Structure 1
């Protein structure tokens, strides 16, 4: 992604928000489906998400590592992960404090 850990972490959060919104509102529009397509779609989405998150979190650190900048690579990965962890903790805090529990 980039050499900016905050942008990498925010890109991951934006991707998660998009996927979660599509899943949430898609179920409301389509209604419950009892077909083999549902588990196929879920597993496909899981695989796509693993690839996207791997790219967001690991591509730039891997490039740096392969270029011989091992310390910078490790630092970028750890800082990206830490920022993502803080954002996740803030989302969980908002969720459990009632801030994100509004029914839409």
Structure 2
């Protein structure tokens, strides 16, 4: 159980850090002069980033639980998934709280 909690925390933290990195990149790129840019490259790039992000976050949240489930550790896999989602919810609520305090 301790191992599942450790992995849940690390997977949630990795997911949160990845989201922070991508959101920061989008925010700082948005400060550039892209208002007059009319190109199909922008939506293509955004969709590619969406697909890549879904793969990364899906791997971080669901990868290890699926692996454990396939190895026969069903209880541990479900526990890991629920712990990961719970910890990520806590990270999300902290972000919402921080956002509400700075507005």
TM-score by length of 1: 0.87
The corresponding residue for 2:15 is 12
Between Structure 1 and Structure 2, the one with more helix by share is 2
5+ unaligned residues in a row in structure 2: which ranges?
none
Aligned residues between the structures:
98
- Find the residue that maps to 2:9 and give its secondary structure: helix
User: How far apart are the structure 1 equivalents of 2:47 and 2:34?
Assistant: 19
Deviation for aligned residue 1:65:
0.2
5+ unaligned residues in a row in structure 1: which ranges?
none
Supply the RMSD in Å over aligned alpha carbons.
1.5
Which segment is superposed worse, 2-11 or 49-58? 2-11
The corresponding residue for 1:79 is 83
Displaced runs of 4 or more, over 4 A: none
Which segment is superposed worse, 61-70 or 32-41? 32-41
TM-score by length of 2: 0.88
